Amino acid sequence: MKYRNYLFLLSFLFFTWAQPVHAQGVAGGYPARPVRVIVGFAPGGATDLVARQFAQKVGESLGRPFVVENRPGGGGVVANMLVKNAAADGYTLLAVSGTFSITPAISKSLAYDALKDFAPISLVNQAPFVVVVHPSLPARTIGELVALARAQPGKLDYGSAGQGSNVQLAVELFNTLAGVKMTHVPYKGTGQALIDLMAGQVQLTIANILSGLPYAKAGKLRALAVTSEKRAKAMPELPAVSETVPGYAVASWNGWLAHAATPPEIIAKLNAELVKAARAPDISERMTATGGEALGSTPEEFGRHLATEVSRWRKVVQQANIRLN
C-alpha cells in the first residue's frame, strides 16, 4: 500500500512539474529556426510590403529570420491552403489583407473555412481608400455625387480591379447605403482602371491612397473623400464619406494568421512581437505618411474583426448579386 502511495506521489509531482516546463518550452524555445511568412500576392504590392516591414522587425527581435514567401494565385487562395495544410507549429504563418474576408463571400466553394481553419494573431495596420472622380464630373463633394447618381441612375460608371474586387464591393456598399445605382466596369488591375478614369472612360473609382492621391494632387483626378469612419490624420482636409452617408466605412487592412491548431503560447508570443513592431517609430511614421495607421490588436480583437468583415461582405455580395465570371 505504501509503495502504491509512493508511486502515486511521484506521478503527481512529475505531472505538476512537467506541465509548466512544457508550456514554457513550447514558447520559450520558439523560434528555433527560420519562420516562413506566406503572402498570397506578388512582390511589391501593399500586402507584400507591409508583411516585409513587420517580418523584419519580428525577426530582429526574436533573433531568427522571418522570411516572406510570395505564393500568388486565386486571389490568395493558394497561400491560404498552403498554411492550412502546413504543420501547426508556428513556422508557417500567413500575412493577409482585406481580400481574405471577401473571398468567402464571392467563392461558391473553398477547401478551407476562413474563420475556423486559421488562428488570428494580430491586425497590424489599417488605411482608408479615397474616392476619386474625373475632373469633368460636376461633383466636388460626396453629397453632389449622390445627387448626380440619383438624377442619372446607372449612368455613372466606376472602374475596379475586377469582378469581386474590394473596390467593387466598396462601391456596391456605397450604392446600398446612399440609395443610388452606379455601373461597374471591371478591369484586370487597378492601374488600368486608373488610366481609363484619367482618360474619361469611366467617371470614378475608390482607390488605394498610394495609387489614387498622387493623381489627384497632380490635377488629373479629383479626390472627394476618404472611406474611413473618420477623417484621416494624413489628409484632414478630405472629409469622410460617412459625413454624408452615415454608416459607411471601408478600409484596407493587413493582419497575420497561423494554423488553427498552433499552440496558444506561440500565438501569444507572436502577438506580443507584432504589437511591439506596430509601435516602433519607423513603422508607425511610415504608415501615417501613407494615410494609414499601424495597429497591434489582440488575437481576440482580430478574430472579431474577421468575423464582422466576412459577414458584412457576404451581405453586400448577396444584395448586389455579385458573381464571378
**CATH 3.40.190.10 is right for the domain spanning 128-243:** yes
Digit-coded pLDDT (tens) for 236-292:
899 999 999 999 999 999 999 999 999 999 999 999 999 999 999 999 998 888 778
Q: What does the domain layout of the chain look like in residue ranges? A: 34-127+251-320, 128-243
Backbone angles phi, psi at 196, to 5 degrees: -70, -30
Taking the C-alpha atoms of 303, 306, 311 and 314 in order, what is their torsion angle to the nearest 10 degrees? -150
Fold identical between 34-127+251-320 and 128-243? yes
Digit-coded pLDDT (tens) for 188-216:
888 899 999 999 999 999 998 888 888 99
Name the pTM for this structure.
0.85
For 34-127+251-320, which CATH class?
alpha beta
Which residues have CB under 8 Å from 111's CB, separation 6+?
A: 81, 84
Give me the percent of the chain exceeding a pLDDT of 70: 91
Question: 234-267 burial by CB neighbour count: b if 16+ within 10 A, else e?
Answer: bbeebbbbbebbeebbbbbbbbbbbbbebbebbb
